[in-house]
Amino acid sequence: MMRQSARSLQGYRVKLGPASEQHTWLAQHAGVMRMAENLYLEKIQAALAQSAAEHTYGVAEGTADRGQDASTETGEAEAEAVDFEPLPSWVIPPTEGYTAEDLDRLRGIPSHTQLIDGALVFVSPQTRFHSLTMSLVQSELHRAVPADLRVRRQMTVTLGKRQRPEPDLVVVRADGDLDLNQTTYQPADVLLAVEVVSAESEIRDRERKPVLYAEAGIVHFWRIEEKDGRPTVYVYELDPATKAYALMSIHHDRLKVSVPFDIDIDLTEIDNF
């Protein structure tokens, strides 16, 4: 019985395991490897549970005297019992990585997929803090923006050939709105980019994305972190000489700044959302 179970597990492993070259590609692309390895986990668990149940029913009993062939046939049959669908073609990225235009062409990619350094980046489920913070800041920005600016939520910005991140919020120039089918903005359209940091996005939001925004010339950047259940806002401004962000101020209960325009946000209002 032990040998039969081991052959069954090996069958799944062979079915799911990528080749060494594919494994290298997957490892280079954020989120893709995890998605590929977990895509059929639910089906596998169900099949293994069914197999275990059948053993308790005595389905496999009486086969021991049939020798190794019976064990082999049963293990292979269990492995074939799972109906695997083919992986989406975009799970295996091209060697040179994806381009910004690919995000509009790849069929079936998850909503709000970003492109950073040519790699597809998938988002995790939103936390309540993340959602409430975005709603609070978006509504207050909308009230404060001048007539020639707009506030947009979760729209990508095409920073380069292989860079198309999606800030949580952006303030854009009104003439950057082209039509209702628009899926991205250009850096010149963006006056302010805002990121609300989540556990899975810490490195991207604290390190990589600010560098990309600064290099693209986006003058203002806010990073929002959770502290004791409330937002703490780190306000940055682009140093034109170094093309890097300088930390201007840190705000806890109240965010009040005069650039890029007059803004006054009571951050404790998150308790009432």
What's 22-54 look like in SS3? HHHHHHCCCCHHHHHHHCCHHHHHHHHHHHHHH
Task: Say yes or no to pLDDT of 48 above 60.
Answer: yes
Tens-place pLDDT, residues 188-245: 999 999 999 999 999 999 999 999 999 999 999 999 999 999 999 999 999 999 999 9
Show the beta-strand stretches assigned E in the chain: 114-116, 119-121, 149-153, 156-157, 169-173, 184-185, 190-196, 220-227, 230-239, 244-251, 254-257, 263-266
pTM of the model: 0.73
Tens-place pLDDT, residues 1-31: 444 444 434 333 434 555 555 555 555 554 5
* Domain locations in the chain as residue ranges: 2-88, 128-272
What rounded mean pLDDT belongs to the chain?
Answer: 84
Tens-place pLDDT, residues 164-187: 999 999 999 999 999 999 999 999
Inter-CA distances, 54 with 23, 51, 58, 121, Å: 34, 5, 6, 41
pLDDT at 64: 46
- Hey, CA dihedral for 192, 133, 197, 156, is it positive or negative? negative
With the CA atoms of 128, 130, 135 and 141 taken in that order, what torsion angle do they form, in degrees rounded to the nearest 10? 160
CATH architecture of 128-272: Alpha-Beta Complex (3.90)
Name the residue among 136, 173, 141 with its Cα closest to residue 262. Answer: 141
Token look-up 């490195």 returns 203
